Structure 1
Amino acid sequence: MRHLRVHIISVAAIVFFFTNDGILAADKLRLAYVSPSVTLSLPWVAKETGILAKYDLAAEVVLITGSPRLVQSLIAGDVDVVFAGVTALIRARSRGAEVAILGASANLSSQKLMVSRSSKIRRLEDVKGAIIGVSQYGSEADTFARNALAKAGLKPDKDVTILQLGGHPQVAAAMAAGKLEAGVLGGLAALTAEKSGGRLITSAVELKILSPSGTFATTRGLIQRKRSVVERLMRSFVEAIHFLKTNRSGAIAAMQKYMGGLSAEEATYLYQEQVDLLEALPAPNDKAIQAVLERESDPKVKNSAPADFVDASFFKEIEKSGMIEQLYRK
């Protein structure tokens, strides 16, 4: 009887070990993203495809709109890793928050400068004297507009009027109604403009304007406490990007499920717009982050170095491991 009792206790201990703190128990994380898009899709793609489980990770993936609010949730410890706007992350770090940018899905924006059907504008230089609609001042669209104008030797608010309309849909609607000649658009709003006869003038890709997109970050405290967990999560993101780049039908199906019931046409448009922008190795890009720093008005931020805001160690290790070559060789 005594031996039976010892055996039962031993079995219970083994079960407890494997289902709680043991090696077979998945590490749990709370991942959050700021809006539904291809570059911000890595958390739910990794979860949906079983990639997280492959790395012994279990995640709750939540949508929290507004990058400043999302970054605050990270700082408060409500979430473990966030996919947020790079500007919000940089400003939080410059104010002393212990956040670290781990990487970015892409380093070129998908923003486009478009004009309405009746516009006589044919080149970027032709927008002098025009009104350009953007979603909001300080947004990615606004930043792209100002950088695009600078490349044409034009000065915002002097040679061109930039007008915020609240969002991309509002810009596309104003152009379709003939109330706005030019606008900066991305995603489905660009598709809406195309359907109403809108024409592309130029894009961030064409102008090679660097801007991290799908930027993800965590806290330095989490890195110290759970470095192995973060390392496995970064590997899962690399595999999620591989899935997006190499499994078109699966990626589009996942987008339709997680992005508000998109039609096949809409999901395909977004996929084609952004898939080639995805980085096989989504490591922090110093040049892209430096470009963001130089656009900041705060002298303290402008004079900072990209290294002040990032932890590039995880992707350096992944690159050395040969993981990228192994994935894309298949």
Structure 2
Amino acid sequence: MNADFTADQSLRNGSLAMKSFKSKIIGFSVLLVMGSIAQPGSSQETKRIHFAVSTPVHYLPIWLAKDTGLYSKHGLDVEVIWIRSGAMATLGIVSGQLPLSGVGAASVVAARAEGADIELLACPLDGDVVYFIARPEIKTADQLRGKATAVTRLGTSVHFYLRTALKQLGMDADKDMTILQLGVGAEIATALESGRIAAATLSFRDSLPFLERGWPVLVDLTNSIKYPPSCVASSRSFVRNNPNTVERFLKAYTEAIHVIKTNPVLAKRVYAKTYRESDARVIDKVVDHYAKIFKSIPTIPQAGLETVIRDLASRKPLPKEFLQPDLYKDDAPLQKLIKEGWFEQLRK
């Protein structure tokens, strides 16, 4: 059984267009008894997958693969589900209810460090354009002390970006500002616009209208950190018990990235449809940006993982074995595709 909900409409003034996301979340307790999702130990590999994503455009390959029939081409039945944050997707992976889903590296590292069975399989980006933007009346970082900011949920990529930005300003995110949890990036942009929060870390898409109006950028994180957002993650048990399913999924996923990079017209159509974007200028900017920076081979960046591990270790003691990046990733499925010539085949 699927439950439909509509996220709060995100504010779009002038260059911002009003839009809402029709979202489907599967009740976790229902998924536990659904026979269509194989649990670890099943004698037959599952071909039907529920894949959860949150709102970042980083997940465009997931949607394009669905829209263009690439999952079916590779023998899978994939239902893509909107979910309000990567932290919720992490919970789904750990519980076995969403065996493959989209999650940022920070969520995976935090959960794995607590002993959870979760790992990264592919990351389409080594980093992204991220700005820490303040309201026009904020002139200095010191004016932010005691004011509110926002994340999607604690422990997500947005939270990681916020901590990093405030650290660069000589501030402590846990002490110097009040952090609200607002669910999705568009709601954070709305809160910044309305004055509910004083500043926020915003993605490329959400930052556009503020940059166009000259709102102050207190920190530009674009080139200052390596951080892999919005990766494909799973559990070690699922990968071990369903190697062919994982391989089929990665083929569809990487073929979708190839399509985005080589067929911008199709990519823009899927983006406009999925994200309900009607502004042609925004569509061009967003899709052209990600078509350029998506990696053809979505390897998991070692430097990015090390950044996340250091951040976690600075806030809580970690045993020595949990400081090793290899603990949080599984390169084998993607490396198998590389060795078998899959990516050369795509380029033909």
Same-fold status (TM-score > 0.5): yes
Alignment RMSD (CA, Å): 3.2
The corresponding residue for 1:62 is 81
Deviations 1:88-144 (A, max 9, x none): 222332233322211212121332123445665xxxxx6355458642365434432
1:229 is the counterpart of 2:251: no
2:203 is equivalent to residue 186 of structure 1: yes
- SS of match in other structure, 1:59: strand
What is the CA-CA distance between 1:305 and the residue it aligns to? 1.0
State whether structure 2 residue 339 is matched by structure 1 residue 320: yes
Distance 1:275 1:51 in 2: 18
- When residues 150 and 67 of structure 1 are mapped into structure 2, their CA distance, relative to the original with a 3 A threshold, is closer
Aligned equivalent of 1:298 = 316
Task: Give yes or no for contact 1:252–1:264 (8 Å, CA) kept in 2.
Answer: no
Deviates more, 1:165-174 or 1:276-285: 165-174
Q: Which has the larger radius of gyration?
A: 1
Q: Structure 1-normalised TM-score?
A: 0.76
Contact kept? 2:300, 2:329, Cα under 8 Å: yes
Matched, 1:135 2:154: no
Higher percent of residues as helix:
1
**Structure 2: distance between partners of 1:115 and 1:321:** 48
Matched, 1:34 2:53: yes
Matched, 1:104 2:120: no
Q: Distance in 1 between matches of 2:202 and 2:332?
A: 35
Counterpart mapping for 1:148-159 below 5 A: 148-151=165-168, 154-156=170-172
Determine helix, strand or coil for the equivalent of 2:50: strand
Number of aligned residues: 296
- The unaligned stretches of length 5 or more in structure 2 are 1-44
Deviation at 1:250, TM superposition (A): 1.2
Per mean C-alpha deviation after superposition, the further-off stretch among 269-278 and 307-316 is: 269-278
8 Å CA contact 1:35, 1:65 repeated in 2:
yes
Going from structure 1 to structure 2, the CA distance change for 1:92 and 1:116 (only over 3 Å counts) comes to: closer
| Distance in 1 separating the partners of 2:319 and 2:264 | 40
Q: TM-score scaled to structure 2, two decimals? A: 0.72
Q: Separation in 2 of the partners of 1:143 and 1:133? A: 16
For residues 99 and 230 of structure 1, the distance between their equivalents in structure 2, rounded to whole angstroms, comes to 14
How much does 1:150 deviate? 4.4
Provide the C-alpha distance between the structure 1 equivalents of 2:198 and 2:94, rounded to a whole number of angstroms: 41
2:71 maps to which of 52, 75, 78: 52
State the shift of 1:254 in Å.
0.6
Q: Percent identity?
A: 21
Whole-angstrom distance in 2 between the partners of 1:205 and 1:165:
23
Among residues 157, 161, 164, which one is paired with 2:179 in the alignment? 164
Give 1:82 deviation, angstroms: 0.6
User: 2 CA distance for matches of 1:272 and 1:244?
Assistant: 9
